[in-house]
Structure 1
Amino acid sequence: MIIAAIAASYYVFAILLNSVGTVILQSITSFEVSKPQASILEGFKDLSIAIVSFLVASFIPRVGYKLALLCGLGLVAVLCAITPGIAEFWSVKLLFAGVGTAFALVKVSVYAIIGQLSPDTRSHSSLMNVIEGIFMLGVLSGYWVFAAFIDEANPASLSWLNVYYLLAAVVAVTFILVLIAPVEKPRAEPAKAMLEFVTMLKMVYQPLVLIFILSVFLYVLIEQGIGSWLPTFNREVLGLPVNVSVQITSIFAVSLAIGRLAAGAVLARMNWYPFLMLCLIAMGATMLLSLPLAQHVGDTPIASWLDAPLAAFLVPLIGLTMAPIYPVINSVMLSSLPKSQHAPMTGLIVVFSALGGTTGSIVTGLIFDAMGGQQAFYLLLVPIALIMVTLFFFRRSSLQVKAKGELA
Structure 2
Amino acid sequence: MRIETNFVIVASLVYFLFGFAVMAIFSALPAIAIDLEMSHSMTGLVIALPKVFFQIAALVVVILSKKGNPFKIMLLGLFCVPFSIILITLSKEYFQFLLGKTLFFFGFGVTEMSIVFGVSVMAFRRTGGVLNVVHAFFALGCIISPGVVSIFLTDASSWNIPLCIPLAISLIIIPFALKIACKQERTDNDMESERIAFPKELLFWLIIIGCFIYVGYESGLSSWLSTFVYEAKAFPLRGSSLLPSLLWIGLFLGRLATGIVVDRFGLEKTLVSLTLASLIGVSMIIFSNSTPLLITGVFMTGLGYSGIFPTLQALLVSSYRQNRAAILCAFTVAGSMGALATNLLVGSISETVSLFAGMSFILTLIVLSLILFTLLGISHAKTLRNSAKKSHGKQVFTNGVF
What TM-score bracket applies, with the shorter chain setting the length?
0.7 to 0.9
Give 2:334's aligned residue.
Answer: 352
Q: Find out whether 1:314 has 2:318 as its counterpart.
A: no
Q: What TM-score, normalized by structure 1, do the two folds share?
A: 0.80
Q: Find out whether 1:170 has 2:152 as its counterpart.
A: no
Q: Secondary structure at the residue paired with 1:170? A: helix
Q: Identify if the C-alpha distance between structure 1 residues 45 and 274 changes in structure 2 by more than 3 Å, giving closer, same or farther.
A: same
Q: Secondary structure at the residue paired with 2:196? A: helix
Deviation sequence 1:22-73 (CA, Å, 0-9, x none): 2532332211211122112232332222221123345147455554344333
Relative to structure 2, which stretch is displaced further, 315-324 or 262-271? 262-271
Deviation sequence 1:364-399 (CA, Å, 0-9, x none): 222233333333223323222222332333333333
Deviation sequence 1:121-146 (CA, Å, 0-9, x none): 25x66655543333332222222233
Q: Distance in 2 between matches of 1:208 and 1:110?
A: 24
Q: Identify if the C-alpha distance between structure 1 residues 165 and 332 changes in structure 2 by more than 3 Å, giving closer, same or farther.
A: closer
Instruction: Check the 8 A contact 1:251/1:317 in 2, yes or no.
Output: no
In the alignment, which of 344, 348, 353 is matched to residue 362 of structure 1? 344
Q: Identify if the C-alpha distance between structure 1 residues 251 and 150 changes in structure 2 by more than 3 Å, giving closer, same or farther.
A: same
Q: Distance in 1 between matches of 2:204 and 2:131?
A: 26
Q: Identify if the C-alpha distance between structure 1 residues 126 and 259 changes in structure 2 by more than 3 Å, giving closer, same or farther.
A: closer
Q: Identify if the C-alpha distance between structure 1 residues 316 and 7 changes in structure 2 by more than 3 Å, giving closer, same or farther.
A: closer
Q: Secondary structure at the residue paired with 2:233? A: coil
Q: Find out whether 1:199 has 2:197 as its counterpart.
A: yes
Relative to structure 2, which stretch is displaced further, 124-133 or 244-253? 124-133
Instruction: Check the 8 A contact 2:212/2:335 in 1, yes or no.
Output: yes
Give 2:80's aligned residue.
Answer: 75
Give 2:257's aligned residue.
Answer: 262
Shift of 1:291: 2.9
Matches of residues 315-394 of structure 1 in structure 2 within 5 Å? 315-333=298-316, 337-340=319-322, 342-394=324-376
Shift of 1:282: 3.4
Q: Identify if the C-alpha distance between structure 1 residues 79 and 380 changes in structure 2 by more than 3 Å, giving closer, same or farther.
A: closer
Following TM superposition, the consecutive aligned residue runs of length 4 or more in structure 1 with deviations greater than 6 angstroms are none
Q: Distance in 1 between matches of 2:323 and 2:118?
A: 20
Q: Distance in 1 between matches of 2:299 and 2:351?
A: 21
Q: Distance in 2 between matches of 1:333 and 1:166?
A: 33
Q: Identify if the C-alpha distance between structure 1 residues 287 and 266 changes in structure 2 by more than 3 Å, giving closer, same or farther.
A: same
Matches of residues 149-164 of structure 1 in structure 2 within 5 Å? 149-151=152-154, 154-155=155-156, 157=157, 159-164=158-163
Q: Identify if the C-alpha distance between structure 1 residues 220 and 107 changes in structure 2 by more than 3 Å, giving closer, same or farther.
A: closer
Instruction: Check the 8 A contact 1:62/1:186 in 2, yes or no.
Output: no
Q: Distance in 2 between matches of 1:22 and 1:219?
A: 21
Matches of residues 223-262 of structure 1 in structure 2 within 5 Å? 223-262=218-257
Q: Distance in 1 between matches of 2:87 and 2:275?
A: 43
Matches of residues 109-148 of structure 1 in structure 2 within 5 Å? 109-111=114-116, 121=125, 128-148=131-151
Instruction: Check the 8 A contact 1:59/1:193 in 2, yes or no.
Output: no
Q: Identify if the C-alpha distance between structure 1 residues 186 and 326 changes in structure 2 by more than 3 Å, giving closer, same or farther.
A: same
Q: Identify if the C-alpha distance between structure 1 residues 327 and 166 changes in structure 2 by more than 3 Å, giving closer, same or farther.
A: closer
What amino acid maps onto 1:217 in structure 2? F
Q: Find out whether 1:218 has 2:217 as its counterpart.
A: no
Instruction: Check the 8 A contact 2:84/2:101 in 1, yes or no.
Output: no
Q: Identify if the C-alpha distance between structure 1 residues 333 and 401 changes in structure 2 by more than 3 Å, giving closer, same or farther.
A: farther
Shift of 1:216: 1.8
Shift of 1:227: 0.7
Q: Identify if the C-alpha distance between structure 1 residues 238 and 312 changes in structure 2 by more than 3 Å, giving closer, same or farther.
A: farther
Give 1:301's aligned residue.
Answer: none
Cα root mean square deviation, aligned: 3.3
Matches of residues 23-42 of structure 1 in structure 2 within 5 Å? 23-42=28-47
Q: Identify if the C-alpha distance between structure 1 residues 125 and 259 changes in structure 2 by more than 3 Å, giving closer, same or farther.
A: closer
Q: Identify if the C-alpha distance between structure 1 residues 127 and 284 changes in structure 2 by more than 3 Å, giving closer, same or farther.
A: closer
Deviation sequence 1:303-339 (CA, Å, 0-9, x none): xxxxx6542442342121232333334444555x453
Q: Identify if the C-alpha distance between structure 1 residues 100 and 290 changes in structure 2 by more than 3 Å, giving closer, same or farther.
A: closer
In the alignment, which of 270, 274, 280 is matched to residue 275 of structure 2? 280
Instruction: Check the 8 A contact 1:45/1:100 in 2, yes or no.
Output: yes
Shift of 1:252: 0.7
Give 1:303's aligned residue.
Answer: none
Q: Distance in 2 between matches of 1:277 and 1:119?
A: 28
Q: Identify if the C-alpha distance between structure 1 residues 241 and 217 changes in structure 2 by more than 3 Å, giving closer, same or farther.
A: same
Instruction: Check the 8 A contact 2:88/2:96 in 1, yes or no.
Output: yes
Gaps of 5+ in 2: 389-402
| Equivalences, count | 383
Identity of aligned residues (%): 19
Q: Distance in 1 between matches of 2:164 and 2:265?
A: 48
Q: Identify if the C-alpha distance between structure 1 residues 8 and 318 changes in structure 2 by more than 3 Å, giving closer, same or farther.
A: closer
Instruction: Check the 8 A contact 2:275/2:366 in 1, yes or no.
Output: yes
Q: Distance in 2 between matches of 1:45 and 1:184?
A: 32
Q: Distance in 2 between matches of 1:35 and 1:43?
A: 12
